[in-house]
Amino acid sequence: MSKEDAKKRTAILKRLREEHKDTVAGAQALLKEQKAIRRQICQAMRDAPKTVPEVAETTGLPANQVLWHITAMKKYDLAVETGMCGEYYLYQLVEEEKK
């Protein structure tokens, strides 16, 4: 990208941020919240594969919320299934699996 194109792009994004400042603020707040939750979930799964109820118990988050985040992490290749424990699947962080 040329310098001029980069300048144009920055100006467009700046104008759009101004135009959509309410929705951008809402999305930023959601992203911040998501990152905090993900940190907790990743921390809980760091040492060994865990089931959803185990992660929920460790983090204190509702089990359905944990499942939603782990589902999202699985979709975008950040977590994988590694078998079952009773009636629950075990999930592992991808970076842990690579070690």
Partner 1 sequence: MTSNNLHVDALVVGGGIAGMQAALDLADQGYRVALVEKEASIGGKMIALSKVFPTLDCCSCITTPKMSAVAHHKNIQLLTYCKVQSINKNGSGFKADVVKKPRYVDETLCTGCRQCEYACPIDLPAAFDLNLGAHRAVRVPFSTAVPQYAVLDIQNCILCGKCETICPVDAIDFTQSPQEFEIEAETIVLASGYELTPTDAKKEYGGGQLPNVVNALVMERLLAPTGPYGHVLRPGDGKEPESIAYVQCAGSRDQSLGVEYCSRVCCMYAIKQAMLLSGALPLADITIYYMDIRTFGKGYEQFYQNAQAMGIEFVKGKVARITEDEDHNPIVRVELIDEGSPVVERTHDLVVLSVGMLPGYNPQTIFGVPVADDGFVTLPSPNISPCVTGQPGIFVTGTAAGPMDIVDSIVLAGSAASEAAAYLQAHRQPELVGDLRVTANEKKERVHA
Residues that bind partner 1 (CB under 8 A): 9, 12-13, 16-17, 20, 23-24, 26-28, 30-31, 34, 51-53, 56, 63-64, 66-72, 74-77, 81, 84, 87-89
Of 13 and 36, which has the nearer Cβ to partner 1? 13
Distance in angstroms (rounded) separating the CA atoms of residues 78 and 99:
14
Strand partners, 49: none
For residue 15, CA distances in Å to 1, 27, 36, 99 come to: 20, 17, 29, 44
Of 24 and 46, which has the nearer Cβ to partner 1? 24
Work out how close the CB of 92 gets to partner 1 at its nearest, in angstroms, rounded to a whole number: 14
